[in-house]
């Protein structure tokens, strides 16, 4: 028996404490519609994929990132964030092209200044923002373990 996903109006979530109480503590899947609807990034993406790309490239610092390309078996490719984004936009909506995504890239390392203009008010300031970008795809439920960065020697 499947249960319908709970939905909340993300625009009504206004603080880390409320987010913790209403979203985190129930420990159930939830759809938060409108949570980032006021972001400049969302407004750019609403206009077009090209406008979204141009908006993000204003923040890009040229740092390399890991992109995943494929259909059912993803291959890892190290490339500049801007190159991955350009390739995603260029193949957006084209059938027969492999799916591509950049997953969990640290925003402050790749797009400094983005988080200042696109604030997620429900998370505490100590939580570093990350960005996921890619084509539409179906991905099996899984758990990604993130290894902490080692201290410089």
pTM of the model: 0.82
Residue that has been written with the tokens 């200044």 in this structure: 113
Q: What is the mean pLDDT of each run of 10 residues along the chain (153 residues)?
A: 82 93 90 95 96 97 93 88 94 84 93 95 90 82 58 49
d(CA 133, CA 106) in angstroms, rounded, equals: 12
Residue that has been written with the tokens 């909340």 in this structure: 8
Q: Where are the alpha helices (DSSP H) in 13-147?
A: 16-19, 40-47, 49-57, 81-90, 107-110, 114-117
pLDDT for res 66: 95
pLDDT for res 70: 87
């Amino acid at each position: 028996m499947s249960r319908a996903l709970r939905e909340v109006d993300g625009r009504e979530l206004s603080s880390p404490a409320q987010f913790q109480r209403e979203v985190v503590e129930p420990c159930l899947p939830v759809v938060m519609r409108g949570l980032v609807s006021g972001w400049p990034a969302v407004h750019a993406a609403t206009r077009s994929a090209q406008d979204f790309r141009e908006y993000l490239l204003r923040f890009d610092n040229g740092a390399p990132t890991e992109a995943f390309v494929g259909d059912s078996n993803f291959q890892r490719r190290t490339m500049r964030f801007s190159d991955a984004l350009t390739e995603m936009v260029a193949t957006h909506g084209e059938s027969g092209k492999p799916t591509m995504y950049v997953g969990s890239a640290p925003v402050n390392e790749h797009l400094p200044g983005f988080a200042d203009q696109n604030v997620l008010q429900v998370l505490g300031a100590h939580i570093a923002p990350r960005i996921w970008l890619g084509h539409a795809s179906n991905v099996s439920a899984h758990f990604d373990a993130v290894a902490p960065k080692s201290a410089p020697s």
